[in-house]
Amino acid sequence: MLRVEQLDAHHGLLHAVRGVSLEVADGETLALVGANGAGKTTLLRTIAGGHRASHGSILFDGADVSSLPAHRRVRLGITLVPEGRRLFPEMTVEENLLVARRGGRNGDWNLRRVYDTFPMLDALRKKRAATLSGGEQQATAIARALMTNPRLLLIDEASLGLAPVAVERVYESLEAVVGGGTTVVLVEQDLGRALGVASRVACMLEGRIVLEGAAAEITREQVIEAYFGLRRGKAKVATS
């Protein structure tokens, strides 16, 4: 579904993403891990169209979308849940969901399905986003993205700053999303969560992917070594 080829992205003089090549298959869940500053957020924003690539290409279903603005990528089925949630604070939960629906594709995700998947939001639908807890805001942000009926859902820092009970609820709902067949790329600091939900894992270090492989065949120790730069060169673990 997604193919990233030799992608570079900069923040001024900072070379944040360096020659990244990556593939994500239809229905796959890829966990993207790495330390702060590794380039994960920039990579996701570049795939979604929120940040301009300085080199390389992004192919979605075989079509080059590298030059398309973010709203056109949303209509094709690429949607980002940004770090920090970025909700409309004075709008209610339901208003945030309906705004997203206007910019998306036709599909099965609607208010009823969202409330079934995120039961906590049903009782909060008339509450302003600014009054929600961190976990409620994260659930709303993921639900808002689903209202665009994405084929590829990019989630940046699903559990960052959340209490353990909130993380548990968010991941319960996320498992239902993954089980429904949505393709997901997930940035996650919690290695246990990442390895538990993903079918494949990729680790970034200093803007590059230094380790990738099937989650069932990659060890926590291998990820930690790559995470801290203790292995040299890019290592691949068999995905078959």
pLDDT per residue as tens digits for the range 154-196: 999 888 778 888 888 888 888 888 888 899 999 988 888 888 8
Q: Which residues of 145-183 are buried (b: 16+ CB within 10 A; e: fewer)?
A: bbbbbbbbbbbbbbbbebeeebbebbbebbeebbeeebb
pLDDT on residue 231: 58
pLDDT on residue 237: 47
Collect the ranges in the chain with pLDDT lower than 70: 231-240
Q: Do 62 and 94 touch, CB atoms closer than 8 A?
A: no
pLDDT on residue 109: 94
pLDDT on residue 170: 83
Residue 220, number of CB atoms within 10 A of its CB: 12
Q: Kindly report whether the global pTM for this prediction surpasses the value 0.95.
A: no
Q: Distance of CA 159 to CAs 84, 186, 195, Å?
A: 10, 10, 14
Task: Report residue 2: phi and psi, to 5°.
Answer: -120, 135
pLDDT on residue 235: 47
- Which residue(s) pair with 60 in the sheet? 2, 63
Please state at what angle helix 164-179 crosses helix 134-146, rounded to 10 degrees: 10
- One-letter amino acid of 12: G
Q: Residue 184: CB partners within 8 Å, gap ≥ 6?
A: 28, 29, 30, 152, 153, 154, 155, 174, 177, 178
Domains (range + CATH), the chain: 26-46+74-236 (3.40.50.300)
